[in-house]
């Protein structure tokens, strides 16, 4: 049978699916560090994201005043365990988030080094194991290690979130070879998290095969957070399209784009 689906229709159906939930946007955005709460809310909406992350240890959960949760009605919240250093703390924080926000989605973040904010692989794996067993949809932040990502997926993580580079560094994708390998092998969505500094970094992450990008500082600390949020929205979309289209091979020599036969004077 002839395939009559147009390329535009295929792109429209290209949803990100996490634990059975379909998301139109492949950009997830954080809510911390903005100049004001009003700018945060405007930037988050300008990004086109449907999922907003909140630190359960830092955000007001009472739903009144100008707190993050009340300002972002209609968004799916992804609470995170930022600030935790052990699996035990991460599990307790996740349970608090589920009770306070009414969601079983959790971004597991267990830090092993306070200077670099590098994740603790062993504690992250243990927290993921316990939280999956407790019925959470677990999205663990981890180092860009294919073995760690595979172990987390085997434990039942709904997605894996390898770092692009150090949190808040703006260094972009520091190890593209590892990231491409993780994306190619992973049975669950790969969401690049941490280190994205500008739109071109997000494009690179998506071109390597990532299913999505999660970022915060690149938008929150930009000179114009709202404009940067729009840029990130388009960057993720462009990177996804480019990955699907397939780039041309890199060559060490020039190759003319026009035919050489039939030139005037030949």
Provide mean pLDDT across the span 201-211.
Answer: 97
Domain boundaries, the chain: 11-81+140-244
At 128, which helix (H) or strand (E)? helix 121-133
* d(C-alpha 99, C-alpha 101), whole Å: 6
SS (H, E, C) the chain: CCCCCCHHHHHHCCCEEECCEEECCCEEEECCCCCCHHHHHHHHHHCCCCEEEEECCCCCCCCCCCCHHHHCCCCEEEEECCCECCHHHHHHHHHHHHHHHCCCEEEECEEEECCCCEECHHHHHHHHHHHHHCCCEEEEEECCCHHHHHHHHHHCCCCEEEECCCCCCCCCCCCHHHHHHHHHHCCCCEEEECCCCCHHHHHHHHHCCCCEEEECHHHHCCCCHHHHHHHHHHHHHHHHHHHHHCCCCCCCCCCCCCCCCCCCCC
Q: What is the pLDDT of residue 182?
A: 97
Q: What is the pLDDT of residues 79-124, one digit of tens each?
A: 999 989 999 999 999 999 999 888 999 999 999 998 889 999 999 9
Provide mean pLDDT across the span 122-130.
Answer: 97
Write out the CATH class of domain 11-81+140-244: alpha beta
Among 99, 82, 221, CA closest to 141? 82
Q: What is the pLDDT of residues 8-22, one digit of tens each?
A: 445 557 899 999 999
Question: Does the active-site annotation cover 62?
Answer: no
Is 250:65 a contact under the CB 8 Å cutoff?
A: no
Q: What is the pLDDT of residue 74?
A: 83
Vertex 170: Cα angle to 166 and 174 (nearest 5): 55
Q: What is the residue-averaged pLDDT of the chain?
A: 89
Residue of 46, 53, 91, 107 marked active site = 107
Phi, psi at residue 94, to the nearest 5°? -65, -40
At 29, which helix (H) or strand (E)? strand 27-30
Q: What is the pLDDT of residues 210-249, one digit of tens each?
A: 999 999 999 999 999 999 999 999 999 999 999 999 988 8
Q: What is the pLDDT of residue 66?
A: 46
Q: Where does 159-198 have alpha helices with state H?
A: 176-185
Residues comprising the binding site for 1-deoxy-D-xylulose 5-phosphate?
168, 194-195, 216-217
């Amino acid at each position: 049978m002839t395939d009559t689906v147009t390329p535009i229709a295929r792109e429209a159906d290209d949803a990100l699916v996490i634990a059975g939930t379909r998301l139109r946007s492949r950009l997830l955005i954080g809510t911390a560090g903005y100049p004001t709460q009003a700018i945060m809310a405007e930037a988050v909406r300008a990004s086109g994201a449907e999922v907003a992350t909140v630190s359960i240890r830092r955000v007001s959960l009472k739903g009144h005043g100008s707190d993050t949760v009340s300002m972002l009605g209609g968004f799916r919240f992804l609470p995170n365990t930022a600030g935790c250093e052990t699996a035990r703390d991460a599990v307790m924080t996740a349970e608090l988030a589920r009770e306070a926000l009414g969601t079983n989605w959790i971004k597991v973040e267990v830090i092993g080094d306070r200077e670099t904010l590098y994740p603790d692989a062993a504690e992250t794996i243990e927290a993921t194991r316990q939280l999956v067993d407790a019925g959470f949809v677990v999205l663990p932040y981890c180092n860009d290690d294919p073995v760690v990502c595979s172990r987390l997926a085997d434990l039942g993580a709904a997605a894996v979130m390898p770092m692009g580079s150090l949190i808040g560094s703006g260094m972009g994708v520091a190890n593209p070879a590892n990231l491409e390998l993780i994306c190619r092998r992973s049975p669950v969505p790969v969401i690049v998290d941490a280190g994205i500094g500008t739109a071109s970094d997000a494009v690179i992450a998506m071109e390597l095969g990532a299913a999505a990008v999660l970022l915060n500082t690149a938008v929150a600390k930009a000179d114009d957070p709202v404009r940067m949020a729009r840029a990130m929205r388009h960057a993720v979309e462009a990177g996804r399209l480019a990955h699907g289209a397939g780039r041309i091979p890199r060559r060490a020599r020039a190759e003319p784009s026009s035919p050489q036969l039939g030139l005037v004077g030949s």
